[in-house]
Amino acid sequence: MPPSSFVVAIDGPTASGKGTLAKRLARHLGFAHLDSGLLYRAVGLALIRAGKDPGDQAAALAAAEGLDPAGLADPDLRQERTGQAASVVAAMPEVRAALLAFQRRFAAAPPGGAKGAVLDGRDIGTVVCPAAAAKIFLDAGVEKRAARREKELRQRGEIIIEGAVLRDLQERDARDRNRAVAPLVAAGDAYVLDTTDMDADQAFEAALAYVNSRSSGGPGGPAAET
């Protein structure tokens, strides 16, 4: 990775607020942002649209190999059923390997000539960018995450079935943490930020202070906007 690319890796479980934090940090630092979950979601969505079972390994691998980055803005990627399919294909080593090169290229040479990149996912600090300059593991209690996700869904006008969001998060947590390949785990050198009792602003301030502490004197450290 060229020394000019300053990489911030953000990992954590579903609905921990990684996406919001990553976007905000990237904007503040003038860095590019990649939500790596979208890659797995794109594979899951391709299978749903083709009428295939998300467990179909050959079809999942073909979808991962044929991934078109232009499709990453599709609003259907955000659907709950797409997230479920994504967590199934994400457990397949061949699919993960096929998506690895894309993520590493993004980190090493961020689009738009940005001086750095913020990548969020489950294995950015452990597998995709183990040499990232800054690694954050964002966590929060599952009940708190479920409450936040329910609020978000209500705001989007979706109907909530009592207990369903919590059950879904528990299922996804179990699949992400227990899979054999690249399981969700904090890197040994990650800054673990538990936001159970924090709001988004507090989480952002804590994360930014950590990133700045990692960049002082570093190669072309992040030029933070004011």
Residue spans of alpha helices (H) in 179-224: 200-215
Q: What is the CA radius of gyration of the chain?
A: 17
Q: Which of 17, 24, 26, 87 binds ligand DC (CB under 6 A)?
A: 87
Binding of residue 90 to ligand DC (CB under 6 A): yes
Q: Which of 26, 29, 32, 86 binds ligand DC (CB under 6 A)?
A: 86
Asked if 78 and 84 touch (Cβ cutoff 8 Å), the reply is: no
Shortest separation between residue 221's beta carbon and ligand DC, angstroms: 25
Q: Which of 33, 41, 144, 214 binds ligand DC (CB under 6 A)?
A: 41
Half-sphere exposure of 53 (CA within 13 A, CB side): 4
Stretch that binds ligand DC, among 26-34, 119-127, 130-138, 203-211 (CB under 6 A): 119-127
The DSSP line for 43-110 is HHHHHHHTT--TT-HHHHHHHHHT--GGGGG-GGGGSHHHHHHHHHHTT-HHHHHHHHHHHHHHHHS-
By CB under 6 A, the residues from 120 to 149 that bind ligand DC are 121-123
For ligand DC, give the closer residue by CB, 160 or 223. 160
Site residues, ligand DC (CB under 6 A):
14, 36-37, 40-41, 83, 86-87, 90, 121-123, 172, 176
